[in-house]
Amino acid sequence: GQNIDQPTEMTATEGAIVQINCTYQTSGFNGLFWYQQHAGEAPTFLSYNVLDGLEEKGRFSSFLSRSKGYSYLLLKELQMKDSASYLCAVRAIYGNNRLAFGKGNQVVVIP
């Protein structure tokens, strides 16, 4: 099985930087995804990491360390529309490559 742990909630100010952490335990690691989910809406894809290091996409960056079972999502220049839940999902070869999602981290952006 896969264990994925994310902190539950954080509050940050508009314009600031926030880091959302995700730790996982799995066998046959085959990639890690970050999704954004606004309240009452579907998850939308943000980023994918399979090799160690940092992937940058505009205001969002995602980092992976496979040896530590650790990833983070970095949100820069926070905007009010970034208030959402951020879901970390791990794919493993064992188990049909199914995605196992964490509970999500709720980010609240305040003016």
Partner 1 sequence: EAGVAQSPRYKIIEKRQSVAFWCNPISGHATLYWYQQILGQGPKLLIQFQNNGVVDDSQLPKDRFSAERLKGVDSTLKIQPAKLEDSAVYLCASSLNGGGGGDTQYFGPGTRLTVL
Give the DSSP letter string of 91-108.
EETTTTT-EEE---EEEE
CB 25 within 8 A of CB 2: yes
Cα separation, 24 vs 26, whole angstroms: 6
Q: Taking CB under 8 A as the criterion, which residues in 38-57 touch partner 1?
A: 40-45, 48, 50
For the bound state, the minimum distance from the C-beta of residue 30 to partner 1, rounded and expressed in Å, comes to: 5
Task: Give the H or E element holding residue 73.
Answer: strand 70-75
For the bound state, the minimum distance from the C-beta of residue 106 to partner 1, rounded and expressed in Å, comes to: 9
- 98 forms part of the interface with partner 1 (CB under 8 A): yes
CB 80 within 8 A of CB 109: yes
Query: How many residues lie near partner 1 (CB under 8 A)?
Result: 26
Q: Taking CB under 8 A as the criterion, which residues in 68-97 touch partner 1?
A: 87, 89, 91, 93, 95-97
Give residues in contact with partner 1 (CB under 8 A): 4, 30-31, 33, 35, 40-45, 48, 50, 87, 89, 91, 93, 95-99, 101-104
